[in-house]
Amino acid sequence: MTEFLQQLINGLALGSILALIALGYTMVYGILRFINFAHGDIFMLGAFAGYYLAPKIAAFLPTPSVGAGLVVMGISMVVCAVMGVIIERLAYRPLRRSPKLTVLITAIGVSLFLEYSGQFVFGAAPKKFPDLIPTYPLTHLGGLSINSNQVVVFGVTLLLLLALRFVTLKTKIGTAMRALSFNPEAAALMGINTDVVISFTFALGSALAAAAGILYAVSYPAIDPLMGILPGLKAFVAAVLGGIGNLPGAALGGIIIGVTETLVSGYISSTYRDAIAFGVLILILLIKPSGLMGRKEVEKV
């Protein structure tokens, strides 16, 4: 029983990180109906931003400490938000009127570009991510080990989810985002500046990916330029699982994938871990194509 609970905790930690990345995918899809394959690489850039920032911040703040962690995460989020906006402006906006396939291929191109330039600029060998926040085992009740890192990951994910919910439901720009996701033409007719809202969506999604990158690097401190490929792909699966375009669905999808993967890895074999994640995707697409919480797209003829 203890083992099962421990695996659950491990899965929830992994799932929270996937959830944060999945939110970025789902937001962009909701508004633009397009899968931003470069999103996993923004996650990687967030981790690298943290890697280069940490020594600079260590000059001002004691490291490891909560303060240092927050500052590094904050700045990384801003850096990646800017990167997201730049990528949108340069690579996706010119193709807004083009067929969906074109912009999809561009997204794949941007993804490969970021990965291999990353290898060139940062070097392909894994780097040790500095200790940003103090780590200590928190509880050992009945053999369960909860690490402070895992608590931090849950906590930060929860806070960011709530912040995102606040932004999308209670702010003007959030309402504009939702309007655009229902009907872009009508939203434009209502006076919404679609370009600004789309840039904002990319910025928000990228900031969340950066936060996920920092949390991931804190938990698994070896970072390399190709680290975003697999988590990005799994987060995409999670977003589809939860219903692409649906925010709570993406979070739920992330948790489900994280927990399933960890349970399969612990009880069956870790070799099947990725196979199961993608197997779940295929199953969901067969049974409920719109995802667990997605709504059916009604095509009016």
Partner 1 sequence: MKHLRKQIVWLALGLAGIGLAGLTGCNKPASGNAVSGDIIKVGEFASLTGSEATFGQSSHQGTQMAVDDLNAVGGVLGKKIQLLTEDDQSQAGQPATVVRKLISRDGVVAILGEVASSRSLEAAPICQQNRIPMVSPASTNPKVTETGDCIFRACFIDPFQGTVMANFTRKTLKLQAVAVLSDVKSDYSLGLAKFFKEGFAADGGKIVVEQSYSAGDKDFNAQLTAIKAENPDGIFVPGYYTEVGLIALQARQLGITVPIFGGDGWESSSLVPIGGQALEGCYFSTHYSPEDTSPAVQDFVKRFRAQHQETPDAMAALGYDSAMILADAIKRAGSTDGTKVAAALAATKDFAGITGKITIDANRNASKPAVILTIKDGQFKYVETIAP
Residue ranges in contact with partner 1 by CB under 8 A: 2-3, 6-7, 10-11, 13-14, 119, 123-126, 128, 135, 137, 140, 143, 145, 147, 149, 216, 219-222, 224, 227, 230, 261-263, 265-267, 269-271, 273
Measure the CA–CA gap between 89 and 103, rounded to whole angstroms.
13
155 vs 289, beta carbon nearer partner 1: 155
Q: Token pair for residue 237? A: 């699966």
Count CB atoms within 10 A of the CB of residue 296. Answer: 8
- Give whichever of 13 and 252 is closer to partner 1, judged by the CB atom: 13
Nearer to partner 1, 268 or 283 (CB): 268
Look at the block and give the residue holding tokens 């004691």. Answer: 62
What does the DSSP 8-state code read for residue 298?
P
Asked if 23 and 250 touch (Cβ cutoff 8 Å), the reply is yes
Residue closer to partner 1, measured from CB, 119 or 175 = 119
Minimum distance, C-beta of residue 96 to partner 1, in the bound complex (Å)? 31
- For the bound state, the minimum distance from the C-beta of residue 148 to partner 1, rounded and expressed in Å, comes to 9
C-beta of 272: minimal distance to partner 1 in Å? 10
Nearest CB to partner 1, comparing residues 228 and 245 = 228
User: At residue 289, what are phi and psi to the nearest 5 degrees?
Assistant: -60, -25
DSSP letter string, 104-159: HHHHHHHHHHHHHHHHHHH-SS-EEPP--S---EEE-GGG--EEHHHHHHHHHHHH
Smallest separation (angstroms) from partner 1 to the CB of 141: 11
Nearest approach, Cβ of residue 271 and partner 1 (Å): 6
